[in-house]
Homo-oligomer: A and B are copies of this chain.
């Protein structure tokens, strides 16, 4: 494909947007109950449908969903979240690397006292440097550790014959002992998994030795704060070779997203991941700042994917009112785009990455309402944006894999296949 014109494309994701009927809303969903004049404008003048990131009923995470929405088959390319986390903190990955997210934590012996080491705010760069000095090479495997925000960090292993089918070290509970890293049952006899597990177990021990008496921790203890005296790996994955977005679609792409995992995916795809001040990832996020960021990014890119995290939070909290307020923010952002972009030259799709029903408080595999609006889009007869309305949409059911194809068709930049 090649950019044959100046038309622009937007995917706007309300994270966890879709829902199921809620009794306290009179059987409506939060999307149906909340007034959304701007989303309704898109639906009334656009083409609606129900989007399944992978296939009907398949439950996905934010990482796998965004991969699918950008046209990268997660069944083929998703090998755990670790690589996205590692990318997200700025580590460079090569195919075959094994990566983990880590927490700086506080332990006494093997018992985890505080999984986040009091949400340590500073000094983690010095702590990571000390870990790398002591545990940077184990059994011929490079171990690269890097701090992220607060207690968060990532660990990357690089060497011959590693395998990511190993257990986590983080016990996910406080007052639990942390275990050694082990091969997963299905890889119990795999030499790569055995080697990887052994390296991780040694690394955790060496990191502990580097951290326990580190001046940063001595000072924390003196201040009555829990020391960041260990780093616990979890969320393992292995790096795969993903075709850069611009190469796959022949258009330049940017991301303005509020989910670290998705930022990591953007880095992985060599998209421009743009920070927008005021985008907090919380209920208090500045949705107009995000929308302004999209308008600005379109000056220099053919394509922008934006994600507002807030709807997902209300879903996970089981709070329909909170979710409705977050949906109102998505609607505001769309309103800003309608006012500030010329949709004769812009096509937008609005959807969610998955449903997070307030009655389920986690992701479900339900289809997500979606609407395409703007240049090239042939409208259907749907008048509003919501679950039941989109079920009548002219697109019917479609999958994440279809999205970029639809967008590049509407924007007119897609190459013809055949004569």
Binding site for B on A (CB under 8 A): 20-21, 29, 50, 54-65, 74, 78, 81, 235, 261, 360, 362-366, 376, 378-381, 387-388, 391-398, 401-402, 405-410, 412, 414-419
Contacts of A376 in B (CB 8 A): 20, 360, 364
Whether A366 lies near B388 (C-beta < 8 A) is: no
With contact pairs A378-B387, A381-B392 given, residues A406 and B56 touching in the complex (Cβ less than 8 Å):
yes
Whether A418 lies near B381 (C-beta < 8 A) is: no
Whether B394 lies near A21 (C-beta < 8 A) is: no
Contact of A64 among B395, B412, B418 (CB under 8 A): B418
Q: Is the interface of A mostly helix, strand, loop or mixed?
A: loop
A130 to B364, CA, bound (A): 58
With contact pairs A50-B394, A365-B409, A391-B394 given, residues A60 and B416 touching in the complex (Cβ less than 8 Å):
yes
Known: A20-B378, A56-B405. 18 other contacts (CB 8 A): A29-B378, A56-B395, A56-B398, A56-B406, A57-B408, A59-B417, A60-B416, A61-B417, A61-B419, A62-B419, A63-B418, A64-B418, A78-B418, A81-B418, A364-B409, A365-B414, A380-B388, A392-B392
Considering only CB atoms, which chain B residue lies closest to A394 in the complex? B391
A376 to B362, CA, bound (A): 12
With contact pairs A50-B396, A58-B417 given, residues A409 and B378 touching in the complex (Cβ less than 8 Å):
no
Whether B409 lies near A57 (C-beta < 8 A) is: yes
With contact pairs A61-B416, A65-B418, A418-B78 given, residues A391 and B380 touching in the complex (Cβ less than 8 Å):
yes
With contact pairs A360-B376, A381-B392, A391-B381 given, residues A57 and B419 touching in the complex (Cβ less than 8 Å):
no
Contacts of A378 in B (CB 8 A): 20-21, 29, 366, 387
User: Would you give the shortest CB distance from A212 to chain B, in whole angstroms?
Assistant: 30
User: Would you give the shortest CB distance from A389 to chain B, in whole angstroms?
Assistant: 9
13 contacts between A and B (CB under 8 A): A20-B378, A29-B378, A56-B398, A56-B405, A58-B409, A58-B417, A62-B418, A62-B419, A81-B419, A365-B405, A365-B409, A381-B388, A391-B394
